[in-house]
Amino acid sequence: MIDYIKGDLTELTPTNAVIETAGIGYFINIALTTYSALQGKKEAKIFIHEAIREDAFILFGFMTKSERELFQLLISVTGVGANTGRVIMSSYTADELQQIIATENVTALTAIKGIGTKTAQRILLDLKDKILKIEITSDSNIKSSVSFATNPIREETLAALAMLGFGVAQSQKVVDKILKENPEMNVELVLKMALKML
């Protein structure tokens, strides 16, 4: 059982990373959030989930143990495979996902590509009681996530970006970063800044 891999980051794409340690390069499947966290780094420590099948031995990597635990909870749900779990983890940060599941936000889950209403409801039903037991370790805490979620400026900006054809996950990340640093900004200013960053 591999707990984590630490070494030189020799390759990085939005979907995978290669970490070399002791002369071996490990091909690790990652979510977009992990990709963002690894950008610009030469070395990395990635927490591993192993998916062992008859025809393949696949590694999935996460920046923290809590992210890995969240992924493992997601794939324990019937109908949610490892790739679907990775798409879910790419769409929202770990603390946002925890909040979405805890508040039974079906709309936020069905906004993810490939997640229908039945799957979303199954995720909420199976994980609602388990999700708050995970202590999410990340840059922002759950409180900030809740305030963002009920922020009308955030919602309006995200709606505008969606109409312009920008992806949900990337838009949310950029808008949340802007609002965290400039909470007093209006929609127009946030939108202008987001367009420069996307």
CATH code: domain of residue 52: 2.40.50.140
Give the pLDDT confidence score for residue 158 in this predicted structure.
82
Rounded Cα distance between 42 and 18, Å, is: 11
Evaluate whether residue 40 is within a structural domain. yes
Contact yes or no for 198/166 (Cβ under 8 A): yes
What CATH number has the domain bearing residue 120?
Answer: 1.10.150.20
The pLDDT of 42-48, averaged and rounded, is 97
For residues 37 and 77, membership in a common domain is answered with no
Same domain, 29 and 83: no
DSSP 111: T
Q: Is residue 192 part of a domain?
A: yes
Q: Which of 61, 71, 68, 79 is nearest to 101 (CA)?
A: 71
Of 47, 62, 77, which closes a domain? 62
Domain assignment of residue 142, yes or no:
no
Residue where one domain finishes, among candidates 16, 45, 62? 62
Separation of alpha carbons 82 and 175, rounded Å: 28
pLDDT at 125 over 90: yes
The predicted-structure confidence for 55-108, as pLDDT tens digits, reads as follows 999 999 999 999 999 999 999 999 999 989 998 988 888 888 998 998 999 988
Q: What is the pTM of this model?
A: 0.69
Domain shared by 87 and 41, yes or no: no
The percentage of residues in the chain with a pLDDT greater than 90, rounded to a whole number, is: 42
Distance CA 195, CA 198 (A): 5
Residue 141's pLDDT band (boundaries 50, 70, 90)?
A: very low
CA nearest neighbour of 127 among 65, 67, 93, 78: 78
Is 143 a residue whose pLDDT tops 70? no
Indicate if 76 and 54 belong to the same structural domain: no
Q: Residue 181 and residue 177: Cα distance in Å, rounded?
A: 6
CA gyration radius for the chain?
Answer: 17
pLDDT tier, 150 (very low <50, low <70, confident <90, very high otherwise): low
Q: Is residue 146 part of a domain?
A: no
Average pLDDT over residues 7-14: 93
Domain with residue 178: its CATH number is 1.10.8.10
Residue found under tokens 């966290």: 37
- Give the ranges where 78-186 is alpha helix by DSSP (H): 82-91, 94-102, 106-110, 117-131, 142-149, 152-163, 168-181
As a whole number, the mean pLDDT across the chain is: 86
- Residue 165 placed within a domain: yes
**Statement: residue 21 has pLDDT above 90:** yes
Q: Which domain holds residue 102?
A: 65-131
Residues 78 and 115 in one domain: yes
